Amino acid sequence: MKFFEWKGHRFIGFVVRLYLAYIFIYASIHKIIHPDSFAVDVATYQILPQSLVNIFAVTLPYVEIGAGLMLLVGFKIRQGALLVCLMMVMFLMALVIALAKGLNMSCGCFASQGVEEDPISFLTVLRDLAWLLLGVYVLIFDESFLSIDALLRRRR
Amino acid sequence: MSSEGLASRDAKKIVFEAFLFAVGFSALGVVVNLVRSDGIPLVPRAPIEIFVPCKEVSGEVKVLDPSDSLVFSEETFLIDAREKEAYEEWHISGAKNIPFDYLEGVDDAEVREIVRSSKKFVVVYGDGQDPDSGEQLAKELAGKGIRNVHFVKGGAKALRFRQ
CB contact under 8 A, B25 and A103: no
* pTM score of the predicted model: 0.65
- Give yes or no for residue B93 having a pLDDT over 70: yes
Q: Which residues of A19-41 are buried (b: 16+ CB within 10 A; e: fewer)?
A: ebbebbbebbebbbebbeebbbb
User: Topology of domain B62-160, per CATH?
Assistant: Oxidized Rhodanese; domain 1 (3.40.250)
User: In this structure, is residue A148 part of a structural domain?
Assistant: no
Q: How far is the alpha carbon of A116 from chain B, nearest alpha carbon, in Å? A: 11
Task: Find out whether A27 and A71 touch, Cβ atoms under 8 Å.
Answer: no
Q: What percentage of chain B reaches a pLDDT higher than 70?
A: 91
pLDDT tens column, A97-120 = 888 877 767 777 776 555 455 677
Counted domains in chain A: 1
- Give yes or no for residue B5 having a pLDDT over 70: no
pLDDT tens column, B111-122 = 888 888 888 899
User: In sequence order, which residues have a C-beta less than 8 Å from that of residue A24 and are 6 or more positions away?
Assistant: A64, A65, A67, A68, A71, A84, A87
At position A91, the amino acid (one-letter code) is F
CB contact under 8 A, B40 and A62: no
Task: Find out whether B80 and B95 touch, Cβ atoms under 8 Å.
Answer: yes
Mean pLDDT of chain A: 86
Q: How far is CA A2 from CA A15, A116, A142, B6, B14, in A?
A: 21, 47, 16, 21, 25
Chain A residues touching chain B at CB-CB below 8 Å: 35-36, 39-40, 43-44, 46, 50-51, 53-55, 57-63, 65-67, 70, 76, 78-80, 82-83, 86, 102-105, 115
CB contact under 8 A, B44 and A66: no
pLDDT tens column, A67-87 = 999 999 999 999 999 999 999
Task: Find out whether B137 and B79 touch, Cβ atoms under 8 Å.
Answer: yes
Q: How far is CA A148 from CA A152, A154, B132, in A?
A: 6, 10, 66
Domain extent, residue A81, equals 8-142
Domain ranges of chain B: 1-51, 62-160
CB contact under 8 A, B55 and A102: yes
User: In this structure, is residue A117 part of a structural domain?
Assistant: yes
Residues of B in contact with A43 (CB under 8 A): 48, 50
At position A127, the amino acid (one-letter code) is R
User: In this structure, is residue A149 part of a structural domain?
Assistant: no
